[in-house]
Amino acid sequence: MLMRGGTSKGAYFLAEDLPADPDARDALLLRVMGSPDERQIDGLGGGHPLTSKVAVVSPSTDPRADVDYLFLQVAVAESVVTDRQKCGNILAGVGPFAVERGLVPAGEERTAVRIRMVDSGDLATATFATPGGRVDYTGDTEIAGVPGTAAPVTVEFSPGDGVLLPTGNVRDEIDGIPVTCVDNGMPTVLMAAASLGVGGHETPEALEGNTALTDRLHAIRLEAGRHMGLGDVADTTVPKLTLLAPPRNGGAITTRTFIPVRCHTSIGVLGAAGVAAGLRIEGGVGADLAHLPTGSDRVRVEHPTGHLDIECGIGTDAAGRPVARRTAVVRTARKIFDGTVFPRPAQPLKDPR
Ligand code: NQM
């Protein structure tokens, strides 16, 4: 099933329909999505990391969950499939997909699906309308970065037991740039845009075209990966990099996020959860630029196509380290197409250029 989940789009599969062996599965998914090729012209992918995503869903053996969700990022121009990151946008489609495929019985009005994210074991609950026992995708909820409106999917993340600051520090300095390395579901490096010589309100295209900036970010990311205990991150999609600047439209902060090579046209859900948490930690990079609301967990994160509202409460553990208490977000999702995909045959590829 091809679905839009939040501001991303992906192919959703039942695990039983894919090879059990991860190498065979990934080789098949490259052919399904049309990678490696900048345009993914011979497959389902849309030629951008945000439209080259896969969800693999199966009944869960964990009594706390109804279904397991494995997220796979399929690279566009390289033969790479990685299971080393999560995706909160594609997550928004997992509940509806589970009902569509009969993995979870639909309620008469609403259905709550408890989802275990396979890579981390973290849990989330997605709640959405199922009038008469069928998923209804229509509604009046608007999310920035998606034209029109659709039915809301409320996603509530259960607090994990991971620490928010993987380097153990609120601030580090990498390559002369002050950074806060945060992980609230997505390892992310927060930096003030100004410290990199940019404003932070530029378009994604302008930032992607600034090679002095992108070279610098590449070097910072490799170093940050080591500091965050992620090892050599040259071939992985985490950590992401978020540039922070003062808000311009009544929100808490402006963001430009590299995922990690392309600049996001909006922001990932868990990426935004990391920004919101980072800004709430005293002394975090960007906290001085932010206009945080008092008396509310809601943080409005501005991004290139609007804003994303995320509820994020943090506290401290017994050792005094910051931890996430609650993270919740409203997204929309939509079934686009349900059918049979015909993967490109397995054969050696010539360079498509
Ligand atoms: O951070 C893009 C997206 C994402 C990830 C990326 C996401 C999240 O918008 O939860 O959703 O960071 O590669 O799909």
DSSP secondary structure string for all residues of 185-224: SSEEEEEEGGGGTS-S-S-HHHHHT-HHHHHHHHHHHHHH
Same domain, 148 and 179: no
The verdict on the CB of residue 270 being under 6 Å from ligand 1 is: yes
**Tokens for 69?**
């969700």
User: Contact 8/46 with Cβ under 8 angstroms?
Assistant: no
Q: What is the CATH number of the domain that holds 107?
A: 3.10.310.10
Query: Does residue 13 register a pLDDT over 90?
Result: yes
**Domain assignment present for 327:** no
| Nearest atom, ligand 1, residue 266 CA | 9
Shared domain for 201 and 138, answered yes or no, is no
pLDDT surpasses 70 at 352: no
**How many domains, in total, are found in the chain?**
2
| 151 and 10 fall within a common domain | yes
Ligand 1 atom index nearest CA of 7: 9
* CB 145 less than 6 A from any atom of ligand 1: no
Least confident range from 66-70, 92-96, 257-261, 290-294: namely: 290-294
pLDDT exceeding 90 applies to what percent of the chain?
92
Mean pLDDT within 254-264: 97
Structure tokens at 8: 């991303």
Q: Which domain holds residue 130?
A: 2-159+333-337
Judgement on whether residues 45 and 105 belong to the same structural domain of the protein: yes
Residue 294 has a pLDDT of 87
The per-residue pLDDT for 94 is: 98
Q: Is 246 close to ligand 1, i.e. is its CB under 6 Å away?
A: no
Query: How many beta carbons lie within 10 A of that of residue 264, not counting itself?
Result: 25
- Tell me the pLDDT tens digit for each residue of 58-82: 999 999 999 999 999 999 999 999 9
**Token representation of residue 225:** 């990966």
Q: pLDDT tens for residues 199-216?
A: 999 999 999 999 999 999
The residue nearest atom 8 of ligand 1, judged by CA position, is 268
Is 98 part of a structural domain of the chain?
A: yes
Mean pLDDT taken over the chain: 95
Kindly state whether residue 167 falls inside one of the protein's structural domains. no
Residues across the chain: 353
What is the band of 348 on the pLDDT scale with cuts at 50, 70, 90? Answer: confident
The per-residue pLDDT for 349 is 74
Looking at the structure, do residues 216 and 188 belong to the same domain, yes or no? Answer: yes
Statement to judge: residues 152 and 262 lie in one domain: no
Atom of ligand 1 nearest to the CA of 267: 9
Parallel, antiparallel, or unpaired: how do β-strands 67-74 and 110-117 relate? parallel
Give yes or no for residue 271 CB within 6 A of ligand 1: yes
Q: Is 273 in the pocket of ligand 1 (CB under 6 A)?
A: no
**How far is residue 217's CA from residue 223's CA, in Å, rounded to a whole number?**
10
Give a yes or no: residue 252 inside a domain: yes
Distance 205 CA to ligand 1 centre (A): 18
> What are 35-64's pLDDT values in tens digits?
999 999 999 999 999 999 999 999 999 999
Let me know if residue 242 belongs to a domain.
yes
Residue 88 near ligand 1, beta carbon < 6 Å: yes
Ligand 1 atom nearest residue 269's Cα:
10
Identify whether residues 42 and 141 lie together within a single domain.
yes
Same domain, 138 and 205: no
Question: 155: Cβ below 6 Å to ligand 1?
Answer: no
Note whether residue 164 is domain-resident: no
- In this structure, is residue 220 part of a structural domain? yes
Residues 188 and 286 in one domain: yes
**120 & 225 share domain:** no
Mean pLDDT within 333-351: 91
pLDDT in tens, 122-179: 999 999 999 999 999 999 999 999 999 999 999 999 887 778 999 999 999 999 999 9
Mutation choice for ligand 1 from 186, 308, 312, 331, CB with most ligand atoms inside 8 A: 186
5 lines ligand 1 (CB under 6 A): no
pLDDT for residue 353 is more than 60? no
